[in-house]
Amino acid sequence: MSLRSAPEPRGLNGTYTRRVIDLRSDTVTRPSETMRSDMASAEVGDDWFGDDPTVNRLQEEAAGLLGTQAALFVASGTMANQIALRIFVRPGHEYVAEARAHVASTEVHSAAANAGIAPRPIHAALGLVAAEQVAEALRPDPYGVRVVDLVCMENTHQAGGGSVLAVETLRGIRKAADEAGVPLYLDGARLFNASAASGTPVGEYAAQAHACMVTLSKGLGAPVGSVLCGDEAFIREARRVRIQLGGGWRQAGILAAAGLVALRDGPARLAEDHANARRLAEGVADASPGAVLPEQVETNIVYVEPGEMGQTAARIVGALEDRGILAGDVGGRVRMVTHLDVSQSDVDAVVRAWREVA
């Protein structure tokens, strides 16, 4: 058997001796001093037995913030989503999701391998699905072959440019799901960004869903982890599936301690990331008119269409890298994400570099 695999990640591997401005993702942040000292002194126990007091505290805090009965700390957003898909969707059945949503793109193979399921995709500009589209996707298959067990929504929508789904829209989607007798799951990897931008408390979004997840290791700045939230029966089942996936862990309080700092201090500073992303988009739009619409940048993600500049994403990303700036080439677009390790003066430096590159 030949084991074909993806290429090795390139990694920075100490290539950069000068400081880089890393806009590849909001996952690249380093834990703060407060996080590191709380991690060092965290009280821990064996979480497999439910013994870890710091994990338990994180789960209680998260459930409190999201307004759910219970929560489960897991290694990644992908693990949270995969556990939820396994619980809600029977093998051979489908889940409705926007076509570029994480669960319908990056995770499509995980869902196939872990749960034997496939997405029924809906296409929406900026990823912002309308309730009518969901209702349409939930209409029974006349041949009685394709059955939908779940509706998944993503907020903010990453590939849609960090776009915010309004809680009124989510309410309409919930209504459509209720009418079809199908539960609603919310991938809230960046739900705190949605909340910071819209002013809607995270609990109001979560209240529309039967379960949801939030990621601690993105804008909130923790080194590792996500939290899956739902009612007690769902979380009990989630704990079992987590073990099946190899995700049961032990003295995870070391990580939960950082998660607690992320939940406490992270949300309040997201507005700064959003202001920086808008400033970046305005600078880029000024240098490359039409390549990005700054008014569409609501949160911390900026996508630029290089075709508008007669360029390719690969060339722009390479030219920025030569100037100590890391951006992403994501599906032929240039992606730049702001986070707590990117300052306003960094943004201004990126805009100056962009002018040279463009």
Ligand X SMILES: *Cc1c(COP(=O)(O)O)cnc(C)c1O
Residue closer to ligand X (CB basis): 29 or 81: 81
> C-beta of 74: minimal distance to ligand X in Å?
9
Residue 76 found at the interface with ligand X (CB under 6 A): yes
Task: Mark 173-212 with x for binding to ligand X (rule: CB under 6 A) and - for no binding.
Answer: --------------x-x-----------------------
Residue closer to ligand X (CB basis): 266 or 283: 266
Q: How many angstroms separate the CA atoms of 174 and 14, rounded? A: 48
User: 181: exposed, middle or buried (C-beta count within 10 Å: 0-12, 13-18, 19+)?
Assistant: exposed
Q: How many angstroms separate the CA atoms of 272 and 287, rounded? A: 23
Q: Is cis: bond before 156, omega within 30 of 0?
A: yes
Q: Tell me the window of 3-11, 73-81, 109-117, 145-153 that interacts with ligand X (CB under 6 A).
A: 73-81
Selected binder of ligand X within 77, 183, 219, 221 (CB under 6 A):
77
> C-beta of 343: minimal distance to ligand X in Å?
23
Residue closer to ligand X (CB basis): 32 or 105: 105
Residue 78 found at the interface with ligand X (CB under 6 A): yes
The CB-based long-range contact list for 12-16 (8 Å cut-off, 24+ gap) reads: 16/324
Spatial CA neighbour of 127 closest among 110, 102, 95: 102
Q: Tell me the window of 47-55, 71-79, 178-186, 233-241 that interacts with ligand X (CB under 6 A).
A: 71-79
Q: How many angstroms separate the CA atoms of 290 and 167, rounded? A: 30
Q: How many angstroms separate the CA atoms of 39 and 228, rounded? A: 21
Residue closer to ligand X (CB basis): 68 or 217: 217
List the interface residues with ligand X, window 90-129 (CB under 6 A): 102
Residue 56 found at the interface with ligand X (CB under 6 A): no
Residue 215 found at the interface with ligand X (CB under 6 A): yes
What values do phi and psi take at 86, rounded to 5?
-60, -40
β-bridge pairing 94-98 and 226-230: unpaired
> C-beta of 260: minimal distance to ligand X in Å?
18
- How many residues sit in the footprint of ligand X (CB under 6 A)? 12
> C-beta of 315: minimal distance to ligand X in Å?
26
Selected binder of ligand X within 59, 68, 195, 226 (CB under 6 A):
226
- Residues ≥6 apart with Cβ < 8 Å to 181: none
Residue 82 found at the interface with ligand X (CB under 6 A): no
> C-beta of 208: minimal distance to ligand X in Å?
17
Selected binder of ligand X within 22, 98, 154, 298 (CB under 6 A):
154
Q: Residues of 109-145 as b/e, b for ≥16 C-beta within 10 angstroms? A: ebbeebbebbbbbbebebbbbebebbbebbeeeeeee
Q: How many angstroms separate the CA atoms of 1 and 53, rounded? A: 46
Spatial CA neighbour of 247 closest among 236, 239, 257: 239
| Contacts to ligand X by CB under 6 A | 76-78, 81, 102, 154, 158, 187, 189, 215, 217, 226
